[in-house]
Amino acid sequence: MRMRRGEFERIRSVLEETEHEGPMTAREILAVLEEHGEEFESAHRVATVLGRHARTGDVEVIRGQPYRYRFVDGNN
């Protein structure tokens, strides 16, 4: 499945605007996105987008139960 253009940017911009700090689960991120009018099909989709960006070093995946995600640049 190809990543839809702008999904990562949408996630990042909402989290930056809301000034969330620290690692968050995909479900927590989805809730913040929905509170701010951004629609994603599921927490799984959020995790997929962020997981793909972990390959490029933009996101740190903290493995555990559940996985948590943090932007590497320290904004989130």
* Residue 42 vs residues 39, 61, 74: alpha-carbon distances, Å: 9, 18, 25
Average pLDDT, the chain: 88
DSSP state of 58: S
Residue 63 has pLDDT above 60, yes or no: yes
Check: CB of residue 41 under 8 Å from CB of residue 7.
no
Q: What is the CATH number of the domain that holds 64?
A: 1.10.10.10
Domain assignment present for residue 76? The answer is: no
Domain that holds residue 46: 7-71
pTM given for the model = 0.85
Domain count, the chain: 1
Whether residue 57 lies inside any domain: the answer is yes
Contacts of 27-30 spanning 24+ positions with Cβ under 8 A: 27/66, 29/69
Over residues 55-74, the mean pLDDT reads 90
Q: Is residue 2 domain-resident? A: no
| pLDDT tens digits along 27-43 | 999 999 999 999 999 99
Give residue 14's pLDDT.
93
pLDDT, residue 7, reads 94
